[in-house]
């Protein structure tokens, strides 16, 4: 794992978008795993800018989102399908037929989850999986005690997560669905590369536990320590409780793989 600390949320988001863009340029038919949530909005703004200003081409890209609420139809503004169309897909040249989310409205949720795993396998597996981290320590909606080998399945959301996501439901945690379909921790770990972005003070404590603490099913994000190709991008606020930050900084400033990303005066500038 590598942890890269950027001075602020804009630069952390921009670095994340630049890494995704670099992977897409070197593999135009990239299979890209996506996340939703407030953290990703800046990343999707940057990607849309890069498409518009530099012609970043998504025409052959296929995407798989981590999760979807159960019982919220795709056209509802609270669904993650709506979020993805709004924040990214409608702003780039992706074929919507190549974009996938778990079927939160499937009559048979278990069969829908099995189909999702099958679709990912049929696409050749996920090349790069983008991740956020929840205050409950989740990746996707893998709430505490999610098996580290779990696959796509139905999961009940914790009160912490429903409170965290209440903002998108008029501030009322009771309006946040109680259940979601989510890729499992095992599904996520099968991706060839992981890229986790965490920003803001509210994530500092859980991020330090996930990165520097023991691997535990109580914090599903700690499972990223098992992955041989994982990058964690954080801003100063989210980095606050990390103990080994001097080492992490040294890596970013000295390792050749980061050379092209050290100069962050790129073209994209939307908020």
C-alpha 157/C-alpha 159 separation (Å) is 7
Neighbours of 239 (CB within 10 A): 25
Measured distance CA(215)–CA(222) in Å, rounded? 5
Least separation in angstroms between residue 1's CB and ligand F6R is 18
Q: Which is nearer to ligand F6R, 60 or 186 (CB)?
A: 186
Which lies closer to ligand F6R via its Cβ, residue 104 or residue 140? 140
CB of 160 to ligand F6R, least distance (A): 10
Is-contact 231 269, C-beta < 8 A?
Answer: no
What does the alpha-carbon distance between residue 128 and residue 24 come to, in Å, rounded to a whole number?
10
The answer for residues whose C-beta is within 8 angstroms of residue 70's C-beta and 6 or more apart is 104, 105, 109, 154, 177, 179, 180, 181
Residue 135 vs 249, nearer CB to ligand F6R: 135
Phi, psi of 107 (to 5 degrees): -65, -40
Shortest distance, position 66 Cβ to ligand F6R, whole Å: 4
Give the residue with the Cβ less far from ligand F6R, 67 or 235: 67
| DSSP category for residue 14 | H
- Smallest distance from the beta carbon of 168 to ligand F6R, in angstroms? 8
Strands 67-69 vs 179-182: parallel, antiparallel or unpaired: antiparallel
CB of 142 to ligand F6R, least distance (A): 8
| Least spacing, CB of residue 64 vs ligand F6R, in Å | 11
Q: How far apart are the first and last CA of the chain?
A: 29
| Interacting residues with ligand F6R (CB under 6 A) | 35-39, 66-67, 132-134, 138-140
Residue sitting closest to ligand F6R (CB): 132
Residue closer to ligand F6R by CB (options 35, 94) is: 35
CA dihedral 111, 135, 225, 83 (to 10 degrees): 50
Question: Sign of dihedral through CA atoms 141, 221, 206, 215?
Answer: positive
- 16 vs 268 by CB, closer to ligand F6R: 16
């Amino acid at each position: 794992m590598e942890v890269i600390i950027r001075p602020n949320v804009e630069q952390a988001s921009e670095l994340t978008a630049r890494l995704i863009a670099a992977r897409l340029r070197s593999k135009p038919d990239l299979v890209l795993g996506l996340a939703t949530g407030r953290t990703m909005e800046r990343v999707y703004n940057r990607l849309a800018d890069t498409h518009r200003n530099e012609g970043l081409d998504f025409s052959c890209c296929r995407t798989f989102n981590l999760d979807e609420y159960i019982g919220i139809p795709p056209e509802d503004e609270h669904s993650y399908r709506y979020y993805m169309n709004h924040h990214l897909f409608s702003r780039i040249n992706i074929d919507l037929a190549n974009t996938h989310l778990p079927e939160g409205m499937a009559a048979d949720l278990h069969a829908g989850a099995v189909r999702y795993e099958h679709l990912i396998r049929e696409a050749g597996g996920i090349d790069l999986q983008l991740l956020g981290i929840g205050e409950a320590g989740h990746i996707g909606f893998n709430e505490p005690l999610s098996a580290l080998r779990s696959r796509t399945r139905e999961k009940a959301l914790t009160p912490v997560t429903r409170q965290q996501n209440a903002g998108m439901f008029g501030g009322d945690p009771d309006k946040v669905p109680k259940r979601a379909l989510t890729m499992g921790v095992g599904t996520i770990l099968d991706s060839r590369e992981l890229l986790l972005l965490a920003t803001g003070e509210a994530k500092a404590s859980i991020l330090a536990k996930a990165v520097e603490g023991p691997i535990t099913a109580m914090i599903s994000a700690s499972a990223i320590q098992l992955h041989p190709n994982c990058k964690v991008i954080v801003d100063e606020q989210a980095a606050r409780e990390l103990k080994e930050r001097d080492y992490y900084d040294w890596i970013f400033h000295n390792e050749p793989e980061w050379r092209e990303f050290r100069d962050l005066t790129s073209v994209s500038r939307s908020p």
